[in-house]
Amino acid sequence: MTDKKALLTIKDNGQDKMIELPVYSGSLGPDVIDIKSLTANGFFTYDPGFISTASCESKITFIDGDKGLLLHRGYPIEQLAEHSDYLETCYLLLYGELPDKKDKAYFENTIMNHTMVHEQMIDFFSGFRRDAHPMAIMCGVVGALSAFYHDSLDVTNERHREVAAYRLISKMPTLAAMAYKYSIGQPFIYPRNDLSYAGNFLHMMFATPNSESEVNPVLARAMDKILLLHADHEQNASTSTVRLAGSSNANPFACIAAGIAALWGPAHGGANEAVLNMLHEIGDEANIDTFIARAKDKNDPFRLMGFGHRVYKNFDPRATVMKETCNEVLNELGLHDDPLFKIAKRLERIACEDEYFIEKKLYPNVDFYSGIILKALGIPTEMFTVIFATGRTPGWIAHWHEMISGEYRIGRPRQLYTGPEKRNFIPEDQR
Ligand code: SDX
């Protein structure tokens, strides 16, 4: 319980109505005002885009946008990026603690030994056009997993939830690589359980049946870091979508498919693809000022993709790590003179010195550099958000599981209605 209270006074035509609302404190971050009692008092709150709304209580990830702080179960993202790896971070998000040697080995072996998908899943792909966007394919095939795994659909069953979590983390890279291979008309490459999670993904993406292929460990480490940096991010649009879908007791595969659909938007996870398209459109450092001017022009819908964030009003700590990784990959591949990277670095410098971006606190976000790394790894732009979705899967599952394993109700927001008042039907001959 709480002894903190918020006192709301509604002044209406000289009539004052006082409503007392409980205030709760978390372990970090702002206090929250519990507004549940407002409905009984004849009011809703109004917060389109949920700029000031805490939708739930959570112990998974904390972001301080002013300090550029991102904690997963209390551990700073910079420390996880330097000392941990993606699967260990998946375990941390799911179970709340870093695994000991035995638990880590069990988790990794379980994930890496369930990377194959049902052979009949292959038939889904042939129904898509070869030029289908891979995110369209992922929305379809991830939801379709629920057609195969009837033994992990009961959301009230703890074991079903855990099995579904493992299956999703295991199989997302396989489905992602299949979507890519299908788009280029190459045969699917089966997963290899002897490789690392990220190494196996690069293997399934770039190996071919007619030649031996080795995965470059520097590139595998970079891919692992990209997945780690995308693993979770509090109540972002796609995670909130997963929670809302899950609140209706939809099965976990359907909930993750809903998250994938929400992530696809260029304002969200589609931004990494949009950053590359923007850098291509800029084409030359000489054109940067024109695009900066367009980004500042209220009458121009153009926004500088990879900049700005709902929460980070300072730097995005993930972008800092991503920039280092970008340098490592470009140096490893001898691409440090990559023209797009040079445009990106100059764009970042100009934007961060520009009064408009400083005043609106628009800094590079996680998507700004990830696209350049992925391009350097030979991954086509359309696959960027698929990789974001793959990385974000443990975060989506952790939030879904946190809600389902606790007390929850179906999410059902209300509205401010400004449409027509009640009126009678008009017969056609009187319209
Ligand atoms: C991700 O939520 C998450 O955690 C998301 C994410 C995650 O890990 O899940 O971090 C991943 O989605 C990162 C964001 C990727 N998106 C982009 O890079 C697309 C470009 N960015 C913008 O679309 C925008 O910044 C958003 C969508 C990211 C944030 O939008 P908000 O919070 O609604 O911010 P806003 O639109 O209210 O912007 C405030 C002002 C506005 O101007 P005014 O109305 O105050 O005059 O800043 C302007 C905006 O016009 N602005 C930009 C801008 N972003 C905001 N102007 C130019 N370029 C931009 N990129």
- Per-residue pLDDT tens digits of the chain, which is 431 residues long: 568 999 999 998 888 999 999 999 999 999 999 999 999 999 999 999 999 999 999 999 999 999 999 999 999 999 999 999 999 999 999 999 999 999 999 999 999 999 999 999 999 999 999 999 999 999 999 999 999 998 888 899 999 999 999 999 999 999 999 999 999 999 999 999 999 999 999 999 999 999 988 999 999 999 999 999 999 999 999 999 999 999 999 999 999 999 999 999 999 998 888 999 999 999 999 999 999 999 999 999 999 999 998 888 888 999 999 989 988 899 999 988 888 888 998 998 988 899 999 999 898 888 888 988 999 999 999 999 999 999 999 999 999 999 999 999 999 999 999 999 999 999 999 99
Q: Give residue 91's Cα distance to chain centre.
A: 17
Cα–Cα distance list, 351 to 36, 263, 309, 328, 411 (Å): 42, 25, 14, 23, 39
Report which of 235, 229, 312, 231 is spatially closest to residue 59, judged by C-alpha positions.
235
- Residue 307: CA atoms inside 13 Å, Cβ hemisphere, count? 26
Ligand 1, residue 368: give the atom nearest the CA. 18
Q: Whose CA is nearest to atom 42 of ligand 1?
A: 360
Cα–Cα distance list, 165 to 113, 269, 286 (Å): 14, 21, 48
**pTM, two decimal places:** 0.93
Q: Whose CA is nearest to atom 23 of ligand 1?
A: 267
Tokens (6 digits) for 42: 């004849």
pLDDT of residue 408: 95
Position of tokens 């690069």? 202
Cα–Cα distance list, 10 to 17, 249, 416 (Å): 5, 37, 17
Ligand 1, residue 239: give the atom nearest the CA. 9
pLDDT of residue 14: 85
Q: Are strands 61-64 and 69-72 parallel, antiparallel or unpaired?
A: antiparallel
Position of tokens 């409905």? 39
pLDDT of residue 1: 56
Sheet holding 61-64, edge to edge: 61-64, 69-72, 75-76
In 17-132, alpha helices (H): 77-83, 86-95, 101-112, 121-125
Ligand 1, residue 309: give the atom nearest the CA. 28
The one catalytic residue among 160, 367, 399, 401? 367
Distance CA 91, CA 101 (A): 12
pLDDT of residue 346: 92
Distance CA 74, CA 94 (A): 13
Residue 203 is a catalytic residue: no
Residue 12 is a catalytic residue: no
Ligand 1, residue 306: give the atom nearest the CA. 18
pLDDT of residue 2: 65
> Cα(237) to centroid of ligand 1, in Å?
12
Residue 34 is a catalytic residue: no
Q: Whose CA is nearest to atom 26 of ligand 1?
A: 309
The number of residues making up the chain comes to 431
Are 226 and 387 within 8 A, CB to CB? yes
> Cα(82) to centroid of ligand 1, in Å?
28
> Cα(103) to centroid of ligand 1, in Å?
39
> Cα(370) to centroid of ligand 1, in Å?
17
The one catalytic residue among 233, 309, 399, 401? 309
Which residues on adjacent β-strands are paired with residue 69?
Answer: 64
Tokens (6 digits) for 86: 């993606």
Q: Whose CA is nearest to atom 30 of ligand 1?
A: 310
Q: Which residues line ligand 1 (CB under 6 A)?
A: 233, 236, 267-269, 271, 295, 303-311, 360, 362, 365-367
Angle CA 150–176–116, to nearest 5? 50
Are 206 and 94 within 8 A, CB to CB? no
DSSP string, 256-300: HHHHHHHHTSTTTTTHHHHHHHHHHHH-SGGGHHHHHHHHH-TT-
Distance CA 392, CA 227 (A): 7
Q: Whose CA is nearest to atom 35 of ligand 1?
A: 310
**3-class state of residue 47 by DSSP:** coil
Ligand 1, from 89, 238, 268: best to mutate by most atoms within 8 Å of Cβ? 268
Ligand 1, from 61, 233, 309: best to mutate by most atoms within 8 Å of Cβ? 309
Tokens (6 digits) for 90: 């998946």
Q: Whose CA is nearest to atom 54 of ligand 1?
A: 308
Tokens (6 digits) for 327: 């340098």
Phi, psi torsion values for 64, nearest 5 degrees: -115, 105
